[in-house]
């Protein structure tokens, strides 16, 4: 079962939270900035050692001061109208996160709305991709959580999950 919640991803006690990062992995705004602030300066140091990340890929660090044991940093695509392979790149973000989680034998993972903030990916398209990937991988995990930034985002995810 996929949990759909409205809340703060930095407060979740899970094996891994996913960070909607930029290609530098060195922090930014939104979820990325909140994760970096909460995890502490060790996260920035660990990210420097990763030497960035390509769009559609993901990399793992410890969670440091976060309640989550790990952070899986993934770089979603910037929306450019839908004709620049954005949907495939976003799908790849989810696949890579699940792949890393399986390699680490993690049982619980929480995702924000990847690319739906400053990267302007349309929320409904992004939510459909997220839910499709979560459903395809749910047999391998005890908990998969979609952490929504707003109540309206949570309602969107719930409506789509209910097949409406």
Sequence-distant (≥ 6) Cβ neighbours of residue 77 within 8 angstroms: 55, 56, 84, 85, 86, 89, 90, 115, 119, 121
Out of 8, 32, 57, 140, the active site residue is 32
Tell me whether strands 58-62 and 70-75 are parallel, antiparallel or unpaired: antiparallel
Long-range interactions of 41-46: CB distance < 8 A, separation 24+: 43/71
| 140 included as an active-site residue | no
Q: Catalytic site residues?
A: 32
């Amino acid at each position: 079962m996929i949990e759909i919640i409205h809340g703060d991803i930095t407060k979740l006690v899970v094996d891994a939270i996913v960070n909607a990062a930029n290609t530098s992995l060195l922090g930014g705004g939104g979820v990325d900035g909140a994760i970096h602030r909460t995890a502490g300066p060790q996260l920035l140091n660990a990210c420097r050692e990763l030497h960035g990340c390509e769009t559609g890929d993901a990399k793992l660090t410890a969670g440091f001061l976060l309640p989550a044991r790990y952070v899986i940093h993934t770089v979603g695509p910037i929306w450019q109208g839908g004709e620049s392979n954005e949907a495939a790149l976003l799908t790849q973000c989810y696949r890579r996160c699940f792949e890393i989680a399986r390699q680490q034998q993690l049982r619980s993972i929480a995702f924000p709305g990847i690319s739906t903030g400053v990267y302007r990916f349309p929320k409904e398209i992004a939510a459909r991709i997220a839910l499709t990937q979560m459903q395809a991988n749910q047999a391998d995990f005890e908990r998969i959580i979609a952490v929504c930034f707003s109540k309206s985002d949570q309602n969107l995810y719930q409506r789509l999950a209910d097949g409406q």
